[in-house]
Structure 1
Amino acid sequence: MRTASLTAIRRITISAQGYAARSRTGTPREVEETIRRLSCVQLDSISAVERSHRIALTSRVGTYRPGTVGRLLAQGHVFEYWAHEACLLPIEDWPLFAAQMHQGGRGWYGAVGETHPHLAEEIVAEIRERGPLGSRHFDGTSEGGMWSWKPAKAMLDRLWNHGDLVIAGRQGFQRLYDLPERVIPKPLLDAPVPDETERLRTLTVKAVAARGALTEAGVVEHWRLRGGIARIRPIVDSLVVDGVLERLRVEDDGSPVLVTAGADLDRASPSASVLLSPFDNLLWDRPFARRVLDFDHLIEVYKKQHERQYGYYVLPFLRGDRIVGRADLKSERTEGALVLKAFHRERGVRASAALDDALDRALDRLRRACGLESVRR
């Protein structure tokens, strides 16, 4: 077993993310390829700055045209399903998630199948006749608070969880549902569902390749796998024996880290200066972020204002191979400005002209991604 320094693991992990070192314009093909390389990209509805997936993608491919992801969904190049959370996934991975769909995914739609037994047939018939539809196209009322969805909304999500409908795009951020056969390529719909061992082997390899370096716990967290480490350890052992993955001892004597077999441990330091979505792939495994990045990641949007330490929607600022600060940001769309409400340097990071310049460039890149005209500090 080779031994790696924390510096080497940090650089492998950050380099795997593929952050762009300069401002650029990305193509639809590059957006698709980036989703593929990352294995999945998390979706989130909060738009205080910009939707999370757009921040995550533009930090890697550069600014791309609005509506690109919707078109990739509609054209069957990517699909949306549960992975880490609700995520964009490369279309060829559809069979990997088919078994999960058949088991109902992670649905929280209650007993709508029993309380409204004919609703599924009615919704599917309506979509078959009219094309992609969102929940607003169906009648219904929401009663009893935010968790008591109207029946049609609950049934749409149930059908999506089961793979009976797919997401064929969005209007704003609202999902448009369609029939799988009109969106997913037929060879993938007809492909056999891999067995448990094959599926877990493939998911483990994809997670490690996408993240550069992960512990076994990190693989579980990447896909939110049930059964924890005990479920995947035999899978990891077999992949190591087969020479697909490699376990590295780390100089801090913490848990061994998985990398692709033969991974280069002498990477140059990454050079990008970029503001990260709080839901960026790099930060999914918080214990690993503390260990390797020396960064205690906090998401405070769900806290009351007086309980927040850094702010409502805070983007970590990555400079090279270190997270050096946290930017509390807000998009003021009526005035066309990206507003920096506060910037908190990390422990041990000194103020400097070079840091200010790097932050200015990162803010301008984010401003372009958000379609805004200026940055206001």
Structure 2
Amino acid sequence: MTALSSLPAPVATLGADDARRIALRAQGLLGAPDRRGGVRGVLRRLGAVQLDTISVLARSHELVPYARLGAVGRPAIETAYWGSGASFEYWSHAACVLPVEEWPLFAFRRRRYRAKAHVWGKQADAATYRSVLDKLRAEGPLTSTELGGAKKTADWWDWSDTKIAVERALAFGDVVCTERRSWKRVYALAEQAIPADLFAAEPDDAECLRTLVAQSGAALGVATRADLADYHRLRVDQLDAVLADSGLVPVEVAGWGPNGAPGAAWADPAALAATPRGRHRSTLLSPFDSLIWDRPRTERIFGMLHRLEAYTPKHKRVHGYFAMPLLTGGRLVGRVDPAREGRTLVARQISLDSPRHVEALADALREAAGWVGCDSVRVEALQDESLRPALERLLA
């Protein structure tokens, strides 16, 4: 672990607003959207897009490119992620879609899972494990149902021996998921689905970690050590072992230290080379968006303490089941808890920091409604009901 006293002197001192704009640009939310690269370009830029089963407005992996590119067709998003060999699923920040080029970089994690097989809790029978691989080799990509069944009973947690085996094979890297059908993982032998040059690459742990830290720094723009470790869920000792050789440079950011003092951080040199300027997006963000998936970082940069309340008892929720922060002018200025009823987008609950953001809120709601095939918006609860006449006039 790097001692704080041995850290190199910062190469720059950034204001809090500078750091915020750098972070927005790094995440593709400042400046004109790069539609040439499309969804795959967004994935390559971010390095990871988190998956989640919740689907309210849309699934989170759809909301991430939507927030950056606008109303890109939803079928095009699915095609970009799955079935083309351009990406795969693995454990990064959580279960994530990753660019296929990152396959070698997670060799360190695959090796760790093999060395500590108990990490998954359930043990896979060796014979079942072999039979899963044999079936995939003989028949090609299959879902867990096609392999023999995902569950023993109807209980979600009661996995069949086949499901346990194939998920272990996924963790170990013998099997990969590069496709989904009706939200079900389709498993394939990694040696058949991953391009040969990437499959054969086996960088050592230090190279994997060094490259992932550099990629995280580029995706975040400017970040604390904790931010960098959290992006791909690295241990702090893993981060510290490679941070000095990652190509990131030390900086100081106003307000990022204890009690509002300047704080130590690391930046991508390219992020410091040009002043971040350009048009800001006004959009609703998934709670799993990489701009805000780390709560301490979100509070530090945007001053918003945001948490997903889907698993909070209904009577204890403050902002709603799947409250989506509203980003406009480079700031988080409110929250919308959405739902869909037929061709109506329902804003079940809205909170807004200031009346001056009503127009941006209306724009974001209209765009989101059109994107998911709704032709009207209904507002149920407003934290400040005095805003209703202006909002409904803008939505009419």
- TM-score bracket relative to the smaller structure: 0.7 to 0.9
Distance 1:67 1:177 in 2: 22
Structure 1 residue 321, shift from structure 2 partner: 1.6
Task: Give the direction of change, closer, same or farther, for the CA distance of 1:374–1:129 in structure 2 (3 Å limit).
Answer: farther
Task: Give the direction of change, closer, same or farther, for the CA distance of 1:73–1:11 in structure 2 (3 Å limit).
Answer: same
Distance 1:184 1:169 in 2: 12
Aligned ranges 1:84-103 → 2 under 5 Å: 84-103=93-112
**Residues 80 and 86 in structure 1, CA contact (< 8 A), matched pair in contact too:** yes
**Residues 31 and 277 in structure 2, CA contact (< 8 A), matched pair in contact too:** no
Write the letter of the residue equivalent to 1:126. Answer: K
Task: Give the direction of change, closer, same or farther, for the CA distance of 1:204–1:111 in structure 2 (3 Å limit).
Answer: same
Identity of aligned residues (%): 33
Aligned ranges 1:24-63 → 2 under 5 Å: 29-62=37-70, 63=72
SS in 2 for 1:362: helix
Task: Give the direction of change, closer, same or farther, for the CA distance of 1:196–1:215 in structure 2 (3 Å limit).
Answer: same
In structure 1, what is the equivalent of residue 324 of structure 2?
Answer: 315
In structure 2, what is the equivalent of residue 11 of structure 1?
Answer: 21
Please identify, of 65-74 and 148-157, the stretch whose mean Cα deviation from structure 2 is larger: 65-74
Write the letter of the residue equivalent to 2:165. Answer: M
Q: When the two structures are aligned, how many residues end up with a matched partner? A: 359
Structure 1 residue 309, shift from structure 2 partner: 0.6
Distance 1:48 1:170 in 2: 19
Write the letter of the residue equivalent to 1:51. Answer: R
| TM-score normalised by length of structure 1 | 0.87
Write the letter of the residue equivalent to 1:232. Answer: L
Q: Structure 2 regions of 5+ residues with no counterpart?
A: 1-9, 256-260, 380-396
**Residues 4 and 265 in structure 1, CA contact (< 8 A), matched pair in contact too:** no
In structure 2, what is the equivalent of residue 362 of structure 1?
Answer: 364
Moved over 6 A (4+): 105-108
Structure 1 residue 104, shift from structure 2 partner: 2.3
Write the letter of the residue equivalent to 1:155. Answer: A
Q: Is 1:148 matched with 2:158?
A: yes
Aligned ranges 1:184-203 → 2 under 5 Å: 184-191=194-201, 193-203=202-212
**Residues 318 and 324 in structure 1, CA contact (< 8 A), matched pair in contact too:** yes
Task: Give the direction of change, closer, same or farther, for the CA distance of 1:312–1:111 in structure 2 (3 Å limit).
Answer: closer
Write the letter of the residue equivalent to 2:338. Answer: L
Distance 1:176 1:26 in 2: 29
Aligned ranges 1:1-377 → 2 under 5 Å: 1=10, 2-19=12-29, 29-62=37-70, 63-66=72-75, 68-70=77-79, 72-104=81-113, 109-113=120-124, 116-137=125-146, 138-139=148-149, 141-143=151-153, 145-191=155-201, 193-226=202-235, 228=236, 230-239=237-246, 244-252=247-255, 253-261=261-269, 263-264=272-273, 266-268=275-277, 270-332=279-341, 335-345=342-352, 349-352=353-356, 355-377=357-379
Superposed CA offset, 1:340-364 (max 9, x none): 111112xxx3213xx2221122122
Structure 1 residue 290, shift from structure 2 partner: 1.1
Superposed CA offset, 1:297-354 (max 9, x none): 111011100111110011000011210000011123xx12221111112xxx3213xx
**Residues 269 and 321 in structure 1, CA contact (< 8 A), matched pair in contact too:** no
**Residues 70 and 168 in structure 1, CA contact (< 8 A), matched pair in contact too:** no
**Residues 328 and 340 in structure 1, CA contact (< 8 A), matched pair in contact too:** yes
**Residues 109 and 154 in structure 1, CA contact (< 8 A), matched pair in contact too:** no
Task: Give the direction of change, closer, same or farther, for the CA distance of 1:372–1:223 in structure 2 (3 Å limit).
Answer: same
Structure 1 residue 128, shift from structure 2 partner: 2.5
**Residues 215 and 258 in structure 1, CA contact (< 8 A), matched pair in contact too:** yes
SS in 2 for 1:258: strand
Task: Give the direction of change, closer, same or farther, for the CA distance of 1:276–1:77 in structure 2 (3 Å limit).
Answer: same
Structure 1 residue 91, shift from structure 2 partner: 1.1
Distance 1:272 1:238 in 2: 34
Write the letter of the residue equivalent to 1:38. Answer: L
Write the letter of the residue equivalent to 1:222. Answer: Y
**Residues 89 and 176 in structure 2, CA contact (< 8 A), matched pair in contact too:** yes
Distance 1:247 1:343 in 2: 39
Distance 1:261 1:141 in 2: 49
Task: Give the direction of change, closer, same or farther, for the CA distance of 1:282–1:330 in structure 2 (3 Å limit).
Answer: same
Q: Structure 1 regions of 5+ residues with no counterpart?
A: none
Task: Give the direction of change, closer, same or farther, for the CA distance of 1:150–1:374 in structure 2 (3 Å limit).
Answer: farther
Write the letter of the residue equivalent to 2:85. Answer: G
SS in 2 for 1:267: coil
Write the letter of the residue equivalent to 2:252. Answer: R
Structure 1 residue 119, shift from structure 2 partner: 1.1
